[in-house]
Amino acid sequence: MSARSVRPKNELRGGEPRRVTHPCLTGDTIMSSHAIRLQLLPEERAVLLKWIFIPEVRAQLEACAASDQVTAITVTPTDVNWMASDLTHAIVKKGCRDSVAIDLSERLEYVDRSRDGRLESWYG
């Protein structure tokens, strides 16, 4: 059998892509099961607004920007990974020397590994 005659696993015999669905999992369920509640201090939100450009995250940050209380946003594990990477890039490549940004970068790496966005998990 040649390499050309091998069908991709996601295709049926008729050439149509196979759709894998589960009756109990919808897109909302998948999102909520992987969502991370990330608690943020006001100064952390300010740093994120300066350096993070993920539209879904920015919208949540802008909505609570005026608050001087700890607030929580909902992010995906991918968002957390990108946020940590963006802050690291700002620190290493763009010369950001803000101690809050440096601490938050380390905290986001912890959240990425642990999936725990509570402040007491990091500062406690």
Does residue 27 belong to any structural domain of this protein? no
For residue 75, give its domain range. Answer: 36-116
CB atoms within 10 A of CB 75: 23
The confidence score (pLDDT) of residue 34 equals 85
- C-beta of residue 111 within 8 angstroms of C-beta of residue 36: yes
Does residue 16 belong to any structural domain of this protein? no
Does residue 26 belong to any structural domain of this protein? no
The confidence score (pLDDT) of residue 56 equals 95
Beta bridge partners of 73: 38
Does residue 122 belong to any structural domain of this protein? no
Is the pLDDT score of 63 beyond 90? Answer: yes
Does residue 124 belong to any structural domain of this protein? no
Does residue 62 belong to any structural domain of this protein? yes
Strands (E), the chain: 36-40, 71-75
Residue-level length of the chain: 124
Cα distances (angstroms) measured from residue 14 to each of 5, 10, 58? 14, 11, 44
Q: What is the mean pLDDT of residues 81-91?
A: 95
Domain total of the chain = 1
35: left (phi over 0), alpha (psi -120 to 50) or beta: beta
